[in-house]
Amino acid sequence: MIRHHFNHLNNQYMTLFKIGQLYDPSFERMTQEEIQDNLESICYEVVEEEYTKNLTESELNERKTELAEVSIKIAALEAEKKDLMDLMKQKMKQPKQEKEEVLDVIKFRSERRAGKLYKIDDQEAGMMYFFESSGQCVNARPMTPNEKQTKIKQLKAVGNE
């Protein structure tokens, strides 16, 4: 299993991971299951919550395709609008909402997601890092007072190295 050792200068807060960065370059050669096994073995805690993930170019292109498809759907509905105005307003409500959501995703190059996050702590720097199941860091923040207490799990892991 992968275990990074944290080096710090002058006890200053130091960001070890950048948003969008993989936990370890070896994750690029691993399966999704292997990445999750590694994250689970070293994480502080696994939580289910919403998070923002920066999109890759491929994911951004998918959202642009999605936007085009929704836009085409809207254009077709507007052609029927003359005869069925009330009905069309109801049919257009959902696609327009989808369009706005996709436009926001494209505009901000990120989207809200919900899923497992692996919290990995850096006790020395007082930082908590959040990794999604692919191993990519999606958030970082200072640790809470409760998180600053070293856990027995971590002591055992260090003792077994």
Cα separation, 109 vs 56, in Å, equals 8
Q: Which amino acid would we find at residue 157?
A: A
- pLDDT given at position 11: 44
- pLDDT given at position 84: 80
Cα separation, 140 vs 142, in Å, equals 7
Split the chain (161 residues) into runs of 10 and give each run's mean pLDDT.
44 70 91 94 94 91 96 88 77 91 90 93 93 94 86 55 56
Cα separation, 79 vs 92, in Å, equals 12
What is the pTM for the complete model shown?
0.45
Using DSSP bridges, classify how beta strands 110-122 and 137-142 pair: parallel, antiparallel or unpaired: unpaired
Using DSSP bridges, classify how beta strands 45-54 and 110-122 pair: parallel, antiparallel or unpaired: antiparallel
**All residues at 6 or more sequence positions from 59 whose CB lies less than 8 Å from its CB, including other chains:** none
- pLDDT given at position 38: 93
Q: What is the CA radius of gyration of the chain?
A: 22
Burial tier of 107 (Cβ tally within 10 Å: 0-12, 13-18, 19+):
exposed
Domain locations along the chain: 25-54+111-159, 57-108
- CA-closest candidate to residue 102, choices 64, 142, 73: 64
- pLDDT given at position 32: 93
Q: Kindly state the DSSP code that residue 135 receives in the 8-state scheme.
A: S
